[in-house]
Chains A and B, each alone.
Chain A
């Protein structure tokens, strides 16, 4: 089945630094990928839609300069959390739509900013 690989699974960074999270579709091409954020004990909230070869579409309230999304190829989307602060600590999950319908999700990245 369609698999999305997400790395790293966990990252701890210092406040003020930037962190890059990668999301790769392993056995299919994903022209569109999605990035979600999940706070502890809460649901998944869509942050942005990543489109290959074009700008990402951000949901209302999501700072595009804070969360930089790049979708440079049909199999790779990256989310960079710039100048991270403790309030950015969260669980980030990427997703891609598969041709047969439905969506496949990465394993998630737990970001802790100290």
Chain B
């Protein structure tokens, strides 16, 4: 069974629109970490956020915000007022175990295209 589901394969928006990328995960562990990474066309993985299973507080970082809801096993990512530079593939990942000791399992990724 897939542990991390990113149902949206590709999202296309116009600059300045808000966009939410969905991530649903599956685990039996009570201790785990969730991550979001950005992969621009150049290929490198850029770390965006790490959240542990005991911290359900939503987080905001500039135009980025994350909504973690254990009740629905979701960790969604919203970009406010999107920009062309936000165009990339975004991966959600799950690392189970204490301290995220188990290596991350990645979702299939969501390709975000922001048009000028």
Contact = CB atoms under 8 A, between A and B. Distances in A.
Interface size class of B (residues with CB under 8 A): 20 to 34
A44 B106 contact: yes
Contact of B45 (A41, A49, A101, A105): A105
Given A41-B111, A102-B50, A107 B100 contact: no
Interface string B60-77: 000000000000000000
A90 to B, nearest CB: 11
Interface size class of A (residues with CB under 8 A): 20 to 34
Contact of B103 (A34, A42, A101): A34
Contacts of B45: 44, 93, 105, 108
Contacts of B91: 43-44
A46 interface: yes
Contacts of A107: 42-44
A1 to B, nearest CB: 9
Contact of A103 (B42, B44, B95, B111): B95
A58 interface: no
A108 B43 contact: yes
Contacts of B106: 43-44
B24 to A, nearest CB: 15
A83 to B, nearest CB: 25
Nearest to A41: B111
Contacts of B47: 102, 104-105
A91 interface: yes
Interface string A34-46: 1000000111101
9 contacts: A43-B107, A43-B108, A101-B99, A102-B33, A102-B50, A103-B95, A107-B43, A107-B44, A108-B45
Interface of B: 33, 35, 37, 42-45, 47, 50, 52, 91, 95, 99-101, 103-109, 111
The 10 closest A-B pairs by CB, nearest first: A107-B44, A105-B45, A108-B43, A43-B108, A102-B50, A44-B106, A43-B106, A101-B100, A101-B99, A34-B103
